[in-house]
Structure 1
Amino acid sequence: MNGEQLADWLEGLGLADHLAAAGLPTFERDLGGVVRWRDPVTGTALGDEQLADLDRVLHQDGDDPTHAVPLALVQLRRQTEVRSSLLASPTHTYASLAEVRGVSENAARFAVHKAAERNALLVVPHDGGVLVPAFQLGDDGELRPELAAVLEPLLASAMDAWQVWAWLTQPAGLLGGQVPHEAARDDDEVAIVRHAAVRLAERAGR
């Protein structure tokens, strides 16, 4: 593919916006619609040889290079979509959690840090701060008791906080499509959710 075809192909797959995050060359179109590819480090225009190299990289997954899809970009797009969905769900900052708990912001910050150290609260880094996903909390702002044994193995594993958040709040294959944190509310299901969490944590450590 030439530069124009590569750009059209990536736009058709909805992957063009994820090139920079993957450390790959990016492109822009001028007012006439002409595609210009740029090196991610130097910002200089790509030559034909560099475009050919990029073409090979993007088509290296799969048995048929003609129809191969750049899996790394697909995964990156999926990760971005999941994170956007998670960020749209209810969360707390130290200030909002302090209000729910009826304590000072400093007290809430200290309690959150201590709970996170014990793997007893999911705390997610975001934009230089942290978010506390609200699904794991009761009306009093404290951790739902049934989730303590579910969170501990996940937070002690090699999974990052975003992965833990995603697994707990989306349909899980290990639970037959149930949402883990919702299934944990059922006394008959909570032990199964804990077992699935342990299994997932073990897999993450391999």
Structure 2
Amino acid sequence: MIKLFVGLGNPGPEYEATRHNAGFWWVDALARELKATLVPERAYHGLMARTSVGGHSVWLLEPQTFMNLSGKSVAALARFYKIAPEEILVVHDELDLPPGQAKLKRGGSHAGHNGLRDIHAQLGSSDYWRLRLGIGHPGVKSEVVHWVLKKPAPDQRQLIEDSIAHSLKAWPAMLAGDMDKATLQVHTTKPPRPKPPRPAPPATPQDAAA
């Protein structure tokens, strides 16, 4: 089961609405679902909430170390409470997915994401779960830093919020340890509703003569 839910982002109001903070947005939404309040915890270098669901302790964490030192916060909490890597879910922005998509996976490389890179190093393991929230790619590698630290356009922000709302539905399965079910829920998207047929325009004399 997932015991520790980690959202990645950067602290401070200037970063609050930027793409790199999508992980914070997800954990904020989960905190509202669980009626939990994130509070500063110096020992874990972040905002943390601890609650109980079905008799099981659950932790929510938003590192306040800046992205490239996220592992310092995650590892400190995981070590103290003896939470194994496979019991951790890290939610983060993903360049390789378009806004509106989310993917759940366990393990793998950090793929250049500085937050994941530091978590790998601090935990000494890559065997944790990741929920990847698509933010799209600027198309040019040299623009990536500017892209992730910039606010998405309103339509893109709405798509990201939609993917958060959809993937959030999987948290009960995650807590139950049914990661196959959680993965199916995250990866299954509703097909778009078919548009109703447009009414035919009224006939004209030219139509009648055709």
Given the two structures, how large is their TM-score scaled by the length of structure 1? Answer: 0.25
Higher strand share: 2
Could you say which structure has the greater relative contact order, defined with CA pairs below 8 angstroms and 6 or more residues apart? 2
Higher helix share: 1
Is the radius of gyration larger for structure 1 or structure 2? Answer: 1
Given the two structures, how large is their TM-score scaled by the length of structure 2? Answer: 0.24
